[in-house]
Amino acid sequence: MARPRSKIDITCQISKCSYYLKEDGKDIVKRGKNRAGHQQYFCKHCNSWFVETANTPLYHKHLPLDEIILICKLLVEKLGIRAIERATGHHRDTICRLLEDFAIHAEVLTQFLLKDVELTPFEVDELWSTVKKNKRELSVSSPE
Ligand SMILES: [Zn+2]
């Protein structure tokens, strides 16, 4: 008899999979960790690998989760990028990149903020207005 599988609270992150982000009927197994220490998963429907941070702002990020959560919280407090730079010791470019990723991953991130960072819906709204404001300032100060 097969070893009982531990409960997996992740859905397939491969967009072409018919079980993409679907909870019901998913067939996902854990398969070790990658070099960054992130859990890797394998979807048996699409025969694809993905890591736990796929499709989240944490994907390809070197900042530890704690630090990202701290930056989120400071942003909610309406601290400016430079103030956060001083408070956390992270370069403002790092914080700006995080903000850009937030904008790209807005929907997934909202869920992450509510669940993992435990912000209230009101605080999440505040954060989004900060992201929008900073994005405007970024595009004014650095034309490409
Ligand atoms: Zn899949």
Which three-class secondary structure state does DSSP give residue 7? coil
My answer on whether 81 and 47 are in the same domain is no
Structural domain count, the chain = 2
Residue 129 and residue 76 share a domain: yes
Task: Point out the domain boundary residue: 32, 54, 76.
Answer: 54
How many other C-beta atoms are found inside a 10 Å radius of the C-beta of residue 82?
10
Q: What is the pTM (predicted TM-score) of this model? A: 0.51
**45 CA to middle of ligand 1, Å?**
5
Domain that holds residue 134: 65-141
- Whether 59 is covered by a domain: the verdict is no
Instruction: Tell how far the Cα of 126 is from the centroid of ligand 1, in angstroms.
Output: 34
Residues 3 and 50 occupy one common structural domain: yes
- Token pair listed for 81: 């990028």
Question: How far away, in angstroms, is 117 Cα from ligand 1 center?
Answer: 27
Ligand 1: distance of its center to the CA of 31 in Å?
14
Do 123 and 71 belong together in one domain? yes
Q: Is residue 118 part of a domain?
A: yes
* 35 and 6 in a common domain: yes
Which ranges of 39-120 would DSSP assign to H, the alpha helix? 65-76, 81-88, 92-104, 106-115
Q: How far apart are CA 8 and CA 29, in angstroms?
A: 8
CA of 56 to the centre of ligand 1 (A): 17
Other CB atoms within a 10 A radius of the CB of residue 26 amount to: 17
For ligand 1, the distance from its centroid to the CA atom of residue 37, given in whole angstroms, is 22
Q: Is residue 73 included in any domain, yes or no?
A: yes
Co-location of 32 and 70 in the same domain: no
Q: What is the pLDDT of residues 85-136, one digit of tens each?
A: 999 998 888 888 888 777 777 777 777 778 877 888 888 888 778 777 776 6
Ligand 1 centroid vs 106 CA: distance in angstroms? 22
Mean per-residue pLDDT, 139-143: 51
Banded model confidence at residue 42, pLDDT cuts 50, 70, 90 = very high
